[in-house]
Amino acid sequence: MSLPPLVSPAAALTVDEVRRYSRHLIIPDVGMTGQKRLKNARVLCVGAGGLGSPALLYLAAAGVGTLGVIDFDVVDESNLQRQIIHGQSDVGRSKAQSAADSIREINPYVNVVVHEERLDSDNAMRVFEPYDLIVDGTDNFATRYLVNDACVLLGKPYAWGSIYRFDGQASVFWAEHGPCYRCLYPEPPPPGMVPSCAEGGVLGVLCASIGSIQVNEAIKVITGIGEPLVGRLMIYDALEMSYRTVQMKKDPECPVCGKEPTITELIDYEEFCGTVSEDAQQAAAGSTISARDLKAMQDRGDDIFLVDVREPNEYEIVSIPGATLIPKGEFLSGAALERLPQDKKVVLHCKSGARSAECLAIVKNAGFADAVHVGGGVLAWISQVDPALPTY
Ligand code: ZN
């Protein structure tokens, strides 16, 4: 299935741009008009990580006029095995800023827009709105469903990819012309069932194999050439060295792109993907306070014992004043319980609320009936109480 071009052409290329893009211009299917479409295109890459790195490098080199990067993370040494848009001297820097510098170095004619924030249900529609097309380089199910739903609701196409060890998948989801991610995967896998690349590993070069397919498809959709992967799923096996595509159908019952959609605005994707166990969900029901509630308790001088269940390195990055660090492992082993006072209200928190909910289940089972945890964790504290603190 071929589709009309997504983007109308820019008025003209400069002499410098003609020189730079000459190898595109002499391909009849791309030509001057195709290159002008790329110049006029606004593409957002979600994540400057494994897939985002090669995708952003090639989108920049290809001459996409406006290139957005959204990433809240900082470059870690363990990223450099595959995230080739970053270098040794970028370790510790914002990924979005580091990526923007590399893009400018590759192609100074690209207008780079940096979004140094975590994509969530509150900002996704606003962030996506100005762009023609999204490249999804996320590595977790919650963000994947979020990207999908936001694109469907905004009527935008996106180039999707996913990688694990030696296996990769890619497609173009565009609800107007074909299925969406939910048509393919209506339900997220149960929590803990599918390991992430951080847990299971990924061959570095696999990122380039899949990221380059995403860029290839983005260019085709923007310029209207060839047959984009709309309605087809590309499956790549690096060990067999095989690429195969399977047809995908739109699900008329799809909750977001079907005939009678039930999802008409963005939802809570952490909850949808069940990042916490059932025990934890039960413990947290009715025993979750907001970061603002915690601040009010502190200001009133309530007799509370605030426990940070994250790891020491996270505590070092940012912490809530007055919190005692007792990592989750000590709750699992039982060692934490004897450190909890019997005469104070125990308040647990972690980074985003998942780990503290797990610990809350343990604490409540041990008899601390009035214990609570902070929904959204330290990230909620930063956004609701003290925005001057760093996020990670
Ligand atoms: Zn759908």
Do residues 111 and 104 make contact, with C-beta atoms less than 8 angstroms apart?
no
Count CA atoms closer than 13 A to 188's CA, side-chain side.
20
Maximum Cα–Cα distance across the chain: 78
Percent pLDDT > 90 in the chain is: 84
132-191 pLDDT, tens digit each:
999 999 989 999 999 999 999 999 999 999 999 999 999 999 999 999 999 999 888 766
Do residues 100 and 56 make contact, with C-beta atoms less than 8 angstroms apart?
no
Interatomic CA distance for residues 243 and 236, integer angstroms:
5
SS3 300: helix
Kindly give the interhelix angle for 204-223 and 52-62, rounded to the nearest 10 degrees. 40
Do residues 326 and 339 make contact, with C-beta atoms less than 8 angstroms apart?
yes
Check 180, 197, 207, 273 and give the catalytic one. 197
> 15-273 architecture in CATH?
3-Layer(aba) Sandwich (3.40)
Report the chain's C-alpha Rg in angstroms.
23
Which tokens sit at 37? 């479409």
13-70 pLDDT, tens digit each:
999 999 999 999 999 999 999 999 999 999 999 999 999 999 999 999 999 999 999 9
The predicted pLDDT at position 8 comes to 98
Q: How many angstroms does the Cα of residue 250 sit away from the middle of ligand 1? A: 6
Instruction: Report residue 114's pLDDT band, with 50, 70 and 90 as the boundaries.
Output: very high
Residue identified by tokens 């985002």 is: 52
The predicted pLDDT at position 277 comes to 72
**Which residues line ion ligand 1, judged by CB < 5 Å?**
180, 182-183, 254, 257
Instruction: Report residue 12's pLDDT band, with 50, 70 and 90 as the boundaries.
Output: very high
254 is catalytic: no
Q: How many angstroms does the Cα of residue 253 sit away from the middle of ligand 1? A: 8
Q: What is the dihedral angle through the alpha carbons of 250, 251, 255, 257, rounded to the nearest 10 degrees? A: 20
57-78 pLDDT, tens digit each:
999 999 999 999 999 999 999 9
Instruction: Report residue 268's pLDDT band, with 50, 70 and 90 as the boundaries.
Output: confident
Q: How many angstroms does the Cα of residue 206 sit away from the middle of ligand 1? A: 27
284-334 pLDDT, tens digit each:
888 999 999 999 999 999 999 999 999 888 899 899 999 999 999 899 899
Residue identified by tokens 């001297």 is: 89
Domain boundaries, the chain: 15-273, 278-384
Q: How many angstroms does the Cα of residue 252 sit away from the middle of ligand 1? A: 8
The predicted pLDDT at position 199 comes to 61
Q: Which CATH superfamily is domain 278-384 in?
A: Rhodanese-like domain (3.40.250.10)
Burial (CB < 10 A; 0-12, 13-18, 19+), residue 347, is buried
Q: Which residues contact 290 (CB under 8 A, 6 or more apart)?
A: 374, 375, 376, 380, 384
Check 254, 257, 273, 350 and give the catalytic one. 350
Do residues 384 and 374 make contact, with C-beta atoms less than 8 angstroms apart?
no
Do residues 250 and 171 make contact, with C-beta atoms less than 8 angstroms apart?
no
Q: Measured in whole angstroms, how far is the alpha carbon of residue 78 from the centre of its chain?
A: 18
Which tokens sit at 309? 């269940």
Do residues 320 and 294 make contact, with C-beta atoms less than 8 angstroms apart?
yes
- Across the chain, the runs of DSSP E, i.e. the strands, are 42-46, 66-70, 111-115, 133-136, 158-164, 167-173, 232-237, 242-247, 288-289, 304-308, 324-325, 345-349, 372-374
Q: What DSSP line would sit under 261-297, residue for residue?
A: -S--S---HHHHTT-S-HHHHHHHTT-EE-HHHHHHH
The predicted pLDDT at position 362 comes to 93
Q: How many angstroms does the Cα of residue 301 sit away from the middle of ligand 1? A: 50
Q: How many angstroms does the Cα of residue 257 sit away from the middle of ligand 1? A: 4
257 is catalytic: no
Residue identified by tokens 């590309």 is: 234
Q: How many angstroms does the Cα of residue 318 sit away from the middle of ligand 1? A: 39
Kindly give the interhelix angle for 377-384 and 291-300, rounded to the nearest 10 degrees. 70
Q: What DSSP line would sit under 213-236, residue for residue?
A: HHHHHHHHHHHT-S--SBTEEEEE
193-233 pLDDT, tens digit each:
566 676 668 999 999 999 999 999 999 999 999 999 999 99
Q: How many angstroms does the Cα of residue 146 sit away from the middle of ligand 1? A: 13
The predicted pLDDT at position 270 comes to 81
Find, among 172, 163, 211, the residue nearest to 55 by Cα. 211
Q: How many angstroms does the Cα of residue 234 sit away from the middle of ligand 1? A: 18
337-392 pLDDT, tens digit each:
999 999 999 999 998 888 899 899 999 999 999 999 999 899 899 989 999 998 77
Q: How many angstroms does the Cα of residue 256 sit away from the middle of ligand 1? A: 6
Which tokens sit at 237? 């096996």
The predicted pLDDT at position 142 comes to 92
Q: Do domains 15-273 and 278-384 have the same CATH topology?
A: no
Judge whether residue 278 has pLDDT over 90.
no
